[in-house]
Every structure is written in structure tokens, then in C-alpha cells.
Amino acid sequence: MRVLVVEDARALADLVAEGLRDQGMAVDIAYDGLAAAAKLDVNGYEVVVLDRDLPGLHGDTLCQMITERDERPMVLMLTAADSPADRVGGLGHGADDYLVKPFHFPELVLRLRALARRRPYAKARILRTSGVELDPVRRSATRDGRTLDLSVKEFEVLAALLRAGPGFLSTEALLEQVWDEHADPFTNTVAVTVGRLRRKLGSPPVITTLPTVGYRIADPEPDPEPGPAA
């Protein structure tokens, strides 16, 4: 899941981003509304954590701009105000959820995952291909019934490949979805992570690599029907 944290309190923004990265999310940060708008024009996000009181461009205005986008991200609005009028106001500008500061971090994580599942074009919760099953909610993955002990990034790469299947995902697409905007485009991180994932998935191999194109997981092609005997 790729998340944009928009918060002008830098210490809080950095703390939230660090915590979300520990949960396996790819996180970018914007410290004002204008920087956030620029990042939204360049990158695709599933959820935006949006402080309502922002310099440069107010959170309400930015929220309205987001709601006008095609395939827009979901918006979780943060605010220090807790009156019913404030909550109604934030939701009235298009926010999908609302969280009052200070908040408990585990609640933030649960709400973000719930919002990602609610996106109109979100795929099915349980992802299944080639004997591999992955549950993003329970954070569990199996291969032919065998539990897979995956690192955070291995889990997210597997989820991205299953969602994209049977299509290919390029190295650049995986960097964008699983890491963040600071990932080095020339790094071998993706290849190393996919290599570890392949070993943990075991035989027969299910991840296909096509040079210059990328990686994919797809159900095996059925064997051709035998032709008539000569």
C-alpha cells in the first residue's frame, strides 16, 4: 500500500511515516498543501493521511481536489478539533474517514487498511494464484497450505504481484508500490527481494521473470489436449 502523509508538524509527520513503513507501507511525506498537490500529480496513492489545517493550501481545499480525480485515493483526515461540526465539515469536503489528534497509532493503521479495502476498484481480499494464498487483512500467506514466513517487503511484493497477475510488474512499478519516492531507481533491492521470495515460495517456481519487462505470478497454462492418433 502506498500512502501520502500530509502534515505540517514535521516531527509528527516523520513519526507517522516511520511507523507506517514498519508496517510494510510505502510512505511519502508532504509538509504543506502545495507540496502534497505536487506529489499527487506525480505518484499514485491508495490512501492520503491529510491534516486539515495546512499552510500553502488548506486541507479542505486539497481534499476537494482529491475527490475530483479519477481513481482517487481514499482520504483519512486528521484534526485537533473534535466537535460534531468539525467532523461533519471534514467529511463534507470528501474525506472518507476522520481521526482526532492525538490518536493511537494502531487505530491509524487499522483505519488505513480498512480504507484501502474500501476503494471502489480494490481487488478481492483473499488473493489466490498457483497455490499461493495471501490475506492482506490478517497479514498471512501460504503456498499449498504451507505457511510462508515473509519479511514485510517480501509480503508486499507478493501482494503486488498477485494483484497484478497475470500481468507483469516492472522493477519501477514494484519500487513505486512497495517502497517510496526515495528508493534508488538503480538499486538491486527489487531483484534481491524477489530472489528471497522465490526461495521461500519453493518449487515449482511460480514467479516468472521477463528481461526488460518485469515479474509476474500466473496460473500455469493447461496442458494442450492430445490430438487424434495418427
- pLDDT at position 43 is 85
How far from each other are the two terminal CA atoms of the chain, in whole angstroms? Answer: 55
Please give the residue that has the higher pLDDT: either 213 or 82.
Answer: 213
Q: Which amino acid is at 43?
A: N
Cα distances (Å, whole numbers) of residue 142 to 73, 129, 174, 204: 29, 11, 21, 14
Cα separation, 222 vs 218, in Å, equals 12
- pLDDT at position 11 is 95
Confidence of residue 24 (pLDDT cuts 50, 70, 90): confident
Please give the residue that has the higher pLDDT: either 227 or 186.
Answer: 186
pLDDT at 117 over 50: yes
Confidence of residue 128 (pLDDT cuts 50, 70, 90): confident
Q: Which amino acid is at 11?
A: A
Mind spelling out the 3-state secondary structure of 64-82?
HHHHCCCCCCEEEEEECCC
pLDDT at 230 over 50: no
Helix or strand holding residue 230 (H, E): none
DSSP strand pairing (2-6 vs 26-30):
parallel
Collapse the DSSP code of 95 into the 3-class scheme (helix H, G, I; strand E, B; otherwise coil) and give the result. coil
Question: Is domain 127-217 annotated with CATH 3.60.40.10?
Answer: no
CATH superfamily assigned to domain 2-118: Response regulator (3.40.50.2300)
Judge contact between 176 and 185, C-beta under 8 A. Answer: no
The one-character DSSP state at 221 is: P
Alpha helices in 119-207 (DSSP H): 152-164, 171-178, 189-201
Domains in the chain: boundaries: 2-118, 127-217
Does the fold of domain 127-217 match that of domain 2-118?
Answer: no
pLDDT at 89 over 50: yes
Over residues 38-87, the pLDDT tens digits come to 999 888 899 999 998 899 899 989 998 998 887 789 999 988 766 566 65
Judge contact between 16 and 49, C-beta under 8 A. Answer: yes
Cα separation, 121 vs 224, in Å, equals 34
